[in-house]
Amino acid sequence: MAYMRSNRVQAELGETFGVSQSTISRAITAITPLLGSMLRRYVPTADELDDETVYIVDGTLLPCWSWADHPELYSGKHKTTGMNVQVACTLYGQLAWISDPIVGGRHDSYCLKGSGVLRTLDPSNWIGDKGYVGNGMDTPIKKPECRDLLDWEKDFNTQVNKIRYRIERVIANLKSGRILHTDYRRPLATFAETISTVVALHFYALA
């Protein structure tokens, strides 16, 4: 749990608990998937979302080390490597859903489509930023190449952004655990599993 919360170096954890680094490594490797499996029932799935509820969505990058043989992890938007998760909350700022992680080189719109969440839900009930234009959601209006935004378009964008701040708060709360906002150091093959377990712990704490 100390590792999951704070992303502490394994050697330093070993010193704290009076064991070797290799013992800490084996414990993390063994317990992480068990925790994820035990707490999976607390994690909302896409088909559990309410079609009549308005959701606000945004993507966030969970950073990791830059593995030279995995360029697909690099996010041009964030200028670093990691995995992307899509996060949705209600208009009241209540966390509702988090997608499975996808490589950081993918655009938010691609990740949302890949999650399958909009296959059975009405996208007109969703609010997102300009990265989701074209999905049928309420998004800010992009500036046309040929003119400036009209006053009503600017007002509309302002109103959308005033609503969207709630998802930014939700993501900030989610990433209060250092393991989700500092570089992941364990083998890449374990990253998605760790993310899923940390997400499960977060929903369990909310429950």
Report how far residue 43's alpha carbon sits from residue 35's, in angstroms, rounded to the nearest whole number: 12
Domain boundaries, the chain: 1-42+188-207, 45-175
The reported pLDDT for the residue numbered 170 is 96
**pLDDT at residue 5 greater than cutoff 90:** no
The reported pLDDT for the residue numbered 68 is 80
The reported pLDDT for the residue numbered 6 is 87
How does residue 16 score in pLDDT terms, banded at 50, 70 and 90?
A: very high
Within 18-123, strands assigned E span 55-63, 74-75, 80-90, 95-98, 102-103
pLDDT tens by residue, 83-119? 999 999 999 999 999 999 999 999 999 999 989 898 8
Give burial (CB, 10 Å; 0-12/13-18/19+) of 206: exposed
Mean pLDDT, rounded, for 43-53: 92
Report how far residue 37's alpha carbon sits from residue 24's, in angstroms, rounded to the nearest whole number: 20
**pLDDT at residue 54 greater than cutoff 90:** yes
**Stated pTM of the model:** 0.91
Q: How many CA atoms lie within 13 A of 207 on its CB side?
A: 13
Please check whether residue 68 is in contact with residue 43, taking contact to mean a CB–CB distance below 8 angstroms.
Answer: no
Report how far residue 69's alpha carbon sits from residue 102's, in angstroms, rounded to the nearest whole number: 17
Please check whether residue 95 is in contact with residue 105, taking contact to mean a CB–CB distance below 8 angstroms.
Answer: no
Alpha-carbon distances of 111 from 98, 105, 137, 191, rounded to whole Å: 11, 10, 15, 17
The reported pLDDT for the residue numbered 13 is 94
Report how far residue 75's alpha carbon sits from residue 142's, in angstroms, rounded to the nearest whole number: 22
State the DSSP H helix or E strand holding residue 158, giving kind and residue range, or none if neither: helix 151-174
pLDDT tens by residue, 134-187? 889 999 999 988 999 999 999 999 999 999 999 999 999 999 888 999 999 899
Give 67 or 38, the one with higher predicted confidence. 38
Report how far residue 40's alpha carbon sits from residue 193's, in angstroms, rounded to the nearest whole number: 12
Mean pLDDT, rounded, for 110-130: 91
Q: Mean pLDDT across the chain, nearest whole number?
A: 93
